[in-house]
Structure 1
Amino acid sequence: MSGVGTPVFVARLAGTAVFDPIGDQVGRVRDVVVLIREKRAPRAVGLVVEVPGRRRVFLPLTRVTSIEPGRVISTGLLNMRRFEQRAIETSVVGELLDRTVDMVDGSGQVTVEDVAIERQRNGDWEVRRLSVRRQGGGSGLLRRRGETLVVDHHAVRGLGGRAPVQGTQSLLAQFSDLKPADLADRLHDLGITRRLEVAAALDNDRLADVLEELGEDDQVAILADLGVERAADVLEAMEPDDAADLLGGLPDEQAAQLLARMEPEEAKDVRRLLAYEDNTAGGLMTTDPVILGPETPIAAALAHVRRQDLTPALASMVFVVRPPLETPTGRFIGVVHLQRMLREPPHESIGTIVDSDIETVTADAHLQSVTRRLATYNLLALPVVDAERRLLGAVSVDDVLDHLLPEDWRETDETFYPVRAVRRG
């Protein structure tokens, strides 16, 4: 066990593996929960631990037997309910790091870079020291990074309540390598204020990817907080079908305002998708699969399916049409499967290996019909055509799954873990 008075810095503790007494890893530390108290040092009450399935649970510090470099040892008793932060609690990583506070001695403002918790003689863990950085001087290229120093907890004012300035650098650094779906989980776990701050700090493309993975309530809250101009920019960066789904959940007046601020070309596809019912092929489809003419060489087609923004399902085939090549296209000819292209000479044209027998659906086809065809023919995507057999878009298996799963599937985790559960004290 870390000795009495030995500081454990939370920023370094984050990401540390958590083990049970027999040496099996049960998760990783993601945050520390503290209680801010008037005239007394903040008390650390527990760790937020991420267990398999990306679920975050609460581990009381009373059930931590050892904190050592690179590992935390617990008693093995975990409450497997998803962690929900209480109103009286403050998360160190989520709320205190990067917070701007005032020095009590009047020497100015400092930014909290790290928080140290220490075990007391009575067994409690308290925040006794802070690593802070003074505000740098100068401006522009001459701006200096301020000095860093370790101070006692009572040397600063402003840890409790809503901070006047709440930075996001530490959180963004931790989130930089996460996939959009994982980052969406992290945002959902944050308090609403912190969630909006972090979302606003992401660039448009990154935020667009994350919004596509969030539930509708989180999407709407973040979009409303961005302001009309930036919200329209983010919608433009989203896939048209995802942008249409998001706008479909907004009041008509707000959706119309955002559409009016989007670039006309970007808004055109979204408007088309909004005209279809949700549980139809038209409401499910994307208007931007890989669409090429029959004369395109296989080598060029392979380069197109390497597009970074394509899902694996849409990258599995190329849709071959007569000009024009933008939806709604000219006459739909068929598809070329990725595996077939990999087996043929790269100089051959895709028109020589086209599969013209693939099943198609019309825009009014119901979700059940689309699902049945995907399953029957073992396909990852289906072409959507109109009465003149012009390609309107494509429905992929991931679009279908999103609509088949319960609306709250992102917030529910039915995974079971071989760990005894206890009530959170």
Structure 2
Amino acid sequence: MENTKTRATLRVFVARLVGTTVFDPLGDAVGKVHDVVVLIRLRGQPRAVGLVIEVAGRRRVFLPLSRVTAIEPGAVITTGLVNIRRFEKRRVETLVVGELLDRVVTLRDGSGQVTIRDVAIERDRGMDWKVTRLFVQRGSSGPLGLRRGETFTVRPDEVTGLAGSADQQGATALLATMEGLKPADLADVLSDLPLSRQLEVAAELSDERLADAAEELSDDDAVALLSGLDAARAADVLDAMQPDDAADLVSALPASIAAQLLDLMEPEEAEDVRRLMTYDEYTAGGLMTTEPIILPPEATVATFLAQARKAEVPPALAAVAFVCRPPLESPTGRFLGMVHLQRALRERPQQLLGSVLDKDLEEVHADDSIGTVTRLLATYNLTALPVLDDAGRLLGAVSVDDVLDHLMPDDWREADDAVTDEMIERSANA
């Protein structure tokens, strides 16, 4: 353990601090560092006031630095219990990783602009944490995003523009923290950022990656993000989304923007979205996707397994193949039955799907309620159900994750982990 004098002059670089485990006095891990909150003042040294830490359930909470007793390699030690109220950034606060890293600032000595790559905080003799150094770089990213240019440290008072506008910020460091995140976690990070910063990050993401995240955002956040994109880019993102999620999002947009984006989408994708938008939100038709795994009866088990392995197929839909007569685009020819992934794994690769069908299913139609769908999914322990028209053709499939999204309250991403009264009421009334 360091002595008091050593701790008083401890310098911590924030980018390296991110991901560090936070421990209580008993040595139990309570979460990991996600960001650092600082106050940038017109006069005086910027002050670091707390950590944003991620605790169980991906909840981000605020930990005042006054309650941090030590920052050591691989560990942050606190004085006691952490307040689990969700962190909400105030206007006077700035997030180092979310808003400062990659900001372009100007050197007061007249030698030009530099980009902030890291921020150092230190505890002074009064036990307050101050921003004491900026690790900066001249020049910009080179080919393939590689950084180039001289790097050095400066004091905060040696630059101007530290509290600058969003157009002075790049996204390199922030994107690095998002690499490898699951879509739901990426959406959670995006929702914590100002819209201008969200749009900057979105510009650097692929259509598929942004589509995955948009599917996990709340309706309000997704609408704001999509509305802020260039219309052509927004249409490309909608093309990459699951049709049911795209339909939900388009339905929530202002009518003029929705019509424009539908015209810009790929015709086949737009047709699916328009068809799904005709159904009530809380019916099987409103819940279903038009792109499950659909195969003919003469397809083999090996073909099904190859389809299930595709990265773009959601896990709930990868667990089952819907076997139909041609045409295989929804609405298909006559629906014959389902083949479950577990059953397929027990068969020979060359076995025909038509010989291992599960036909013992209660029919679900597009106008059936979400309550009917939920009951059947639970009764038969399924991850997805076929939705048929009156002629017995497959219109689409409802997956268990889509049902859960609609049963949960609108603000479930921000709510406590406990089941809310709204969720119970909605389930009972479905």
Q: Same fold (TM over 0.5)?
A: yes
2:316 pairs with 1:281:
no
Pairing partner for 2:40 from 27, 36, 42: 36
Q: Which amino acid aligns with 1:185?
A: D
Q: What do residues 218-244 of structure 1 show as CA deviations (whole Å, max 9, x unaligned)? A: 100100111211000000000111100
3-state SS of 1:132 partner: strand
Q: Who is 2:335 aligned against? A: 332
3-state SS of 1:243 partner: helix
Q: Who is 2:263 aligned against? A: 260
Q: Who is 1:245 aligned against? A: 248
Q: Which amino acid aligns with 2:185?
A: D
Q: Who is 1:300 aligned against? A: 303
Q: Who is 2:425 aligned against? A: none
Q: Who is 2:210 aligned against? A: 207
Conservation of the 8 A alpha-carbon contact between 1:359 and 1:382? no
Q: What do residues 324-376 of structure 1 show as CA deviations (whole Å, max 9, x unaligned)? A: 01100001111111121111222121111112222221111111111111112
Q: Who is 1:187 aligned against? A: 190
2:142 pairs with 1:135:
no
2:355 pairs with 1:355:
no
Q: Who is 1:176 aligned against? A: 179
How far the C-alpha of 1:215 sits from its partner, in A, is 0.1
For these two proteins, the number of residue pairs brought into alignment is 414
Conservation of the 8 A alpha-carbon contact between 1:361 and 1:385? yes
Q: Who is 1:421 aligned against? A: none
Q: Which amino acid aligns with 1:56?
A: R
Distance 1:79 1:246 in 2: 34
Structure 1 portions without partners, runs of 5+? 417-425
Conservation of the 8 A alpha-carbon contact between 1:101 and 1:110? yes
Q: Who is 2:129 aligned against? A: 125
Off by >6 Å, runs of 4+ in structure 1: none
Relative to structure 1, is the Cα distance of residues 226 and 164 closer, same or farther in structure 2, using a 3 angstrom cutoff? closer
Q: Which moved more, 1:109-118 or 1:5-14?
A: 5-14
Distance 1:355 1:327 in 2: 20
How far the C-alpha of 1:185 sits from its partner, in A, is 0.9
Q: Who is 2:318 aligned against? A: 315
How far the C-alpha of 1:30 sits from its partner, in A, is 0.9
Q: Which amino acid aligns with 2:226?
A: L
How far the C-alpha of 1:199 sits from its partner, in A, is 2.4
Q: Which moved more, 1:227-236 or 1:341-350?
A: 341-350
How far the C-alpha of 1:206 sits from its partner, in A, is 0.3
Relative to structure 1, is the Cα distance of residues 322 and 136 closer, same or farther in structure 2, using a 3 angstrom cutoff? closer
Distance 1:175 1:262 in 2: 28
Q: Which amino acid aligns with 2:123?
A: R
Pairing partner for 1:114 from 111, 118, 136: 118
Distance 1:415 1:13 in 2: 31
Q: Who is 2:428 aligned against? A: none
Q: Which moved more, 1:186-195 or 1:311-320?
A: 186-195
Pairing partner for 1:83 from 84, 87, 92: 87
2:205 pairs with 1:196:
no
Distance 1:412 1:200 in 2: 29
How far the C-alpha of 1:144 sits from its partner, in A, is 7.8
Distance 1:332 1:318 in 2: 11
Relative to structure 1, is the Cα distance of residues 144 and 187 closer, same or farther in structure 2, using a 3 angstrom cutoff? closer
Distance 1:39 1:261 in 2: 50
Q: Which moved more, 1:158-167 or 1:216-225?
A: 158-167
Q: Which amino acid aligns with 2:77?
A: I
Distance 1:22 1:140 in 2: 48
TM-score by length of 2: 0.93
Q: Which amino acid aligns with 1:331?
A: R
Relative to structure 1, is the Cα distance of residues 415 and 101 closer, same or farther in structure 2, using a 3 angstrom cutoff? farther
Identity rate, percent: 63
Conservation of the 8 A alpha-carbon contact between 2:334 and 2:392? yes
How far the C-alpha of 1:77 sits from its partner, in A, is 3.0
Distance 1:259 1:398 in 2: 25
Relative to structure 1, is the Cα distance of residues 97 and 140 closer, same or farther in structure 2, using a 3 angstrom cutoff? closer
Distance 1:26 1:204 in 2: 35
Q: Which moved more, 1:249-258 or 1:213-222?
A: 249-258
Distance 1:415 1:359 in 2: 33
Conservation of the 8 A alpha-carbon contact between 1:53 and 1:413? no
How far the C-alpha of 1:414 sits from its partner, in A, is 2.6
Q: Who is 1:419 aligned against? A: none
Relative to structure 1, is the Cα distance of residues 355 and 140 closer, same or farther in structure 2, using a 3 angstrom cutoff? closer
Conservation of the 8 A alpha-carbon contact between 1:63 and 1:77? no
Structure 2 portions without partners, runs of 5+? 420-430
How far the C-alpha of 1:128 sits from its partner, in A, is 1.2
TM-score by length of 1: 0.94
Distance 2:66 2:276 in 1: 54
Conservation of the 8 A alpha-carbon contact between 2:17 and 2:33? yes
Distance 2:165 2:254 in 1: 30
Q: What do residues 71-128 of structure 1 show as CA deviations (whole Å, max 9, x unaligned)? A: 1100023221001111111111111000000000110100000110011111111111
Distance 2:194 2:84 in 1: 20
Conservation of the 8 A alpha-carbon contact between 1:57 and 1:82? yes
How far the C-alpha of 1:197 sits from its partner, in A, is 2.0
RMSD: 1.7
Distance 1:209 1:132 in 2: 33
Distance 2:395 2:276 in 1: 10
Conservation of the 8 A alpha-carbon contact between 1:294 and 1:349? yes
Q: What do residues 248-270 of structure 1 show as CA deviations (whole Å, max 9, x unaligned)? A: 11122211110000111111111
